[in-house]
Chains A and B, each alone.
Chain A
């Protein structure tokens, strides 16, 4: 083989390494749908409680959303490789989910909570999870959502009545539903681009 032929082959090897490493890292699952699902679940629970005064609206919607998330996540991640980044991000959301599922029913049953504290604590916890995930993924849009959650948390400490509910519902709408749809569109675009490059 000529010197330039050998050089070309070695360069090809280097390109192969780079493309395969990138391919492995790209193999994370897309999660935009989870934000939309939980956004819709939260809105459903709030509206259901406000209109029908049904005491089990929250438990029913939250348990349904949790079961749906678990079933869909297992189906979507089957046969996909695990990455350290993927495990780090999912650990944030799993621990957040477990903490909220334990804390709020316990506070509700014990009666040691009012709606302002509930909104403030929920918003702060969500802000923390969004920010941690945003830092790991270097995702500015998600960090902007964390700021909205933290804003909602602080506002619930000082505000009163309808404005607090409006801010909280707006945070749910923008940080869960709009952000989730944006995430799904970004994933779809990225997949389209990958298909073009493949």
Chain B
């Protein structure tokens, strides 16, 4: 019997998974946009994004636009690979249960 894959704990958290999934469909996004889409608080969002950044799954760019600070997040290649592996593991774990 083939061994069942383990789910990546960094991605498995709901908010972190939502953030990586959101970033996978776009090039980059502002902190405020991510907050609006996930409906999370500043503190929680910042903490989860920091975890993803530490894991090398997202890259951060801070800049000033019209004298206002802007924090941009984008998914890294490592993040994309990790999300792909996570989805594959999920599908493997669910097996025939997908779609039921």
Please give the residue numbers on chain A whose beta carbons come within 8 Å of chain B beta carbons, in ascending order: 7, 10-11, 13-14, 16-25, 27, 79-84, 87
Contact = CB atoms under 8 A, between A and B. Distances in A.
Given A11-B94, A83-B25, A20 B18 contact: yes
30 contacts: A10-B90, A10-B93, A10-B94, A11-B98, A13-B90, A14-B91, A14-B98, A16-B18, A17-B17, A20-B21, A20-B22, A20-B25, A21-B25, A23-B22, A23-B25, A23-B37, A24-B22, A24-B24, A24-B25, A24-B29, A25-B25, A25-B26, A27-B33, A79-B32, A81-B27, A81-B28, A81-B29, A81-B30, A83-B27, A87-B27
Nearest to A28: B26
Contact of A82 (B17, B27, B37, B90): B27
Contact of A24 (B14, B21, B32): B21
Interface in B1-37: 12, 14, 17-18, 21-30, 32-33, 37
Contacts of B93: 10
Contacts of A82: 26-28
Contacts of A20: 17-18, 21-22, 25, 37
Nearest to B25: A24
B87 interface: yes
Contacts of B24: 21, 24
A13 B30 contact: no
Contacts of B32: 79
Interface in B21-65: 21-30, 32-33, 37
Contact of B26 (A11, A17, A27): A27
